[in-house]
Amino acid sequence: MCGIIGIASNKPVSINIINSLKKLEYRGYDSAGLATLDNDIINEKKCSGRVEELEKILFKTPSNGNVGIGHVRWATHGIPNVVNAHPHSSEQVSVVHNGIIENSDELKNELESKGIKFKSQTDTEVVTLLITESLKENKPLNSVFKTLKKLKGSFALGIIFKKFPNIIIGARRGSPLAVGYSKKENYIGSDSYALKSMTNKISYLDDGELCVLTKDEVSFFDKNLKKVNKKILTMSENDVSAEKGEYKHFMFKEIVEQPDTVNNCISEYVDSLKKNINILNFPIEPQKINKIVLIGCGTAYNSCLTAKYWFEELTSIDIEIDIASEFRYRKLKFNPNNLYIFVSQSGETADTAAALDLCKKNNVKTCSIVNVIESTIARNSDWVLPIHAGIEIGVASTKAFLGQLTVLYILCLKLAFVRKDIDEITYIKNISNLKKIPDAIKKCLKNENEVQLMAKEFISAKGSMFLGRGSSFPIALEGALKLKELSYLHAEGYPAGEMKHGPLALIEEGLPVIVIAPKDKYFEKTISNMQEVIARGGKILFITDNKKESLNENIRFGFRVPHIDNLLSPILLTLPLQMLAYHVALLKNCDVDKPRNLAKSVTVE
C-alpha cells in the first residue's frame, strides 16, 4: 500500500530515488520522504503530500550520498503528516516500510517501558527502534533478523545504517520486494516498474527472505538466515513500459487500450487455426470439478460476479462468488473437487492473498487470474491465467476489468466445451463473437462526446443510482464503484428489480439514475423498473445495445453500444460507464489517476 525504493551506488542517489518514487506514487501518495547516508550522517527529508513537494525540498537543499532509501505513503497508523511520513530514523538507522506491523502497540509498550521515546504515531517506528537497540550487540544483518522475529504482520522493509554506510538491507514478509541489478549500482523496490528506468535485470524476494545490497553485489538469505541463490529475470520492454504519452491521464490511456487488452487475451488463449481455446493442464480434471468458487475485491469482485452469469448459462458447474475479505474469515467446507479461482489485477491484494492462503492450508486446488504474473497471488496458486493487460497505473481499474472478464469468459467456454455442456457449433460461435469485441470497443470509444454530455448531469447531483438486471447488475455495481472512487459522489449499484424493496425511497426529482438495459431476457422488466423511477422524478441516463428502443422524453440521455450477443454485452456496457466516471471526475476537478484516500495496490487488510 506504500511504495519503497533503495539504491546503493557509486554516485549520488537522491535524484534517482525521486524518479522512482514518482513511479511508485500509484501505491500511495499522502506523504513522501527519503534518507541518504551523507558524510556519516543519516540525512532525512520528508513532506506531506506528493513527491513533487519532496522534489522542491531537495531542489532547495540537495541531499548527497551514494546510498539511500525512499518512500511514498498510504497512511494506516497515524494521520498523513511530515512526522508520520517515512523514512523513520534514529541516530543509527533509517527504515522505510510497506505493510502493517500488527503487534506494534505491544512492542511500543515494551520499548517505552525501557525509557525509549517515539516521535510518530506509526507502526514503523518500532522497527527503527528495535533495530537500533539490537545494533548495540549485533551486526546489521543479525539486528534485522532478530527484529523480524519479533514482528507480526505483513511487510516489506528497506533499511540503511549510519555506521555501515555501504549497505542496504531489504526484508519481505507478505508484501512484495524486487531487487534490481546494474553496473556499480543495485536496488530494492516495491515493484519492478519503480526500477524500470535504471535496470531490466530483476529478482524477487520470496516470503520471509532478506537481502543485503552494496553497489557491487547482492546477497540473499532465507528465513533462517541461510544464504540462497536467486534467478535473475530480464524484463522485456512490454513488462516495464508505462508512459502517459499523448494522454492527460493514465486512466484514459488505459480505457483506450482496451481493444488491445481483449486482443492480447484472444491471441494468448485462442488458437485461431484450430478454432480452439488453449487452456490446458487444469489442476482438477474438468469433468470432476464439482464447484467453482470465484474470489476477489473491488473491481475484481465485480468481474467474478459477471462471470457467475456466464458459468450458470453455459456450464453445469455449480458456481459461488465471494468477496475476499469475507471469504478469509468464513467457516467454509472445503472440497477437493472444488476449484478456487482468485481474481486480482495486482496479485498483491492482502485480502485476496489471505483467502488464497486459506485454501492452500486446506489442500484444495487454486487458480489465479492476474495481471502481474510475478505477483504473490500468481506465485502461490497452483495454476495461473494471466490477463496480459500490461501495467495498469490509474488507481481506478479499467483495462484490467475487461482483461479479467475476457479470461473468465474464455475459461468458461473451454470448461463448457470439454465437459460437453455446449456443442462444438456453440463453442465456435461464441469464440468468433468474442473476436468481434475489440472493434466494438473501438466504436464505443468513438462516442466519447455523448458521455461528456451525460457527465454534466452529475455536476450538482447529490447522489446517483446505477441499475441493471442479470449480468448488467454487476456492471451497475462496477459503474457505481468507478463513479464514487473518482468523483467522490455517492453512487449505488442495484439490481433494478430490488428497487421497490427499499432504495426507491431515495429517488427524488432530478436524481441521476443510470439504467443499463441490453436487449436480453430482462429488457422489458428493466424498462418497467425504469418507469417506476421516472414516476418518482428520477433523471434517466439509458445505456443499451437495443437498436430498436427509441429514446423518449423521459430519458434524459442515451448511449448505445454495439450488439454482438447477449452473453458478451457486459463487456461493452462497461465502456460508457468508465468514460462517464472519468468525465464526471474531470468536471469536478478531481485527481483522476490518484483519487483521495485510495491506492492502487491494497497490501493491508
Q: Which spans of this chain sit near ligand M6R (rule: CB under 6 A)?
A: 297-300, 344-346, 349, 352, 395-397, 481, 485, 601-602
CB atoms within 10 A of CB 591: 13
CB of 191 to ligand M6R, least distance (A): 12
Nearer to ligand M6R, 129 or 481 (CB): 481
Nearer to ligand M6R, 301 or 417 (CB): 301
Nearer to ligand M6R, 332 or 477 (CB): 477
Q: Which residue is nearest to ligand M6R (CB)?
A: 298
- Of 387, 413, 426, 429, the C-alpha closest to 277 is 413
Nearer to ligand M6R, 198 or 602 (CB): 602
CB of 41 to ligand M6R, least distance (A): 39
Q: Which residue has the cell 519503480?
A: 194
3-class SS of residue 406: helix
CB of 265 to ligand M6R, least distance (A): 16
DSSP E strands in 197-288: the ranges are 201-204, 210-213, 218-221, 227-228, 233-234, 270-271, 276-277
3-class SS of residue 482: helix
Q: CA of 345: how far to CAs of 47, 262, 348, 396, in Å?
A: 30, 15, 8, 11
CB of 370 to ligand M6R, least distance (A): 8
Give the torsion sign (CA, 50, 52, 54, 56). Answer: negative
Is beta strand 210-213 parallel, antiparallel or unpaired with respect to 201-204? Answer: unpaired
CB of 143 to ligand M6R, least distance (A): 34
Nearer to ligand M6R, 98 or 352 (CB): 352
CB of 378 to ligand M6R, least distance (A): 11
CB of 322 to ligand M6R, least distance (A): 14
CB of 118 to ligand M6R, least distance (A): 31
Residue 600 appears among annotated catalytic residues:
yes
How far is Cα 412 from Cα 106, in angstroms, rounded to an integer?
48
Nearer to ligand M6R, 300 or 332 (CB): 300
Q: Out of 2, 304, 359, 444, which one is annotated catalytic?
A: 2
Structural contact between residues 177 and 205, judged by C-beta atoms closer than 8 angstroms: yes
Contacts of 582 (CB under 8 A, 6+ apart): 249, 251, 252, 255, 486, 592
DSSP secondary structure, 19-59, as one string: HHHHHHGGG--SEEEEEEEETTEEEEEEEES-HHHHHHHHH
How far is Cα 336 from Cα 338, in angstroms, rounded to an integer?
5
Nearer to ligand M6R, 352 or 366 (CB): 352
DSSP secondary structure, 570-601, as one string: HHHHHHHHHHHHHHHHHHTT--SSS-TT--SS
How far is Cα 182 from Cα 64, in angstroms, rounded to an integer?
20
Nearer to ligand M6R, 35 or 581 (CB): 581
CA-derived radius of gyration, the chain? 25
Q: Which residues pair with 202 in a beta bridge?
A: 180, 233
Q: Out of 22, 215, 482, 600, which one is annotated catalytic?
A: 600
Burial 127-153 (b: 16+ CB within 10 A, else e): bbbbbbbbbeeeebbebbbbbbeebeb
How far is Cα 102 from Cα 106, in angstroms, rounded to an integer?
9
Angle at 211 between CA 216 and CA 63, to 5 degrees: 60
Residues involved in catalysis: 2, 600
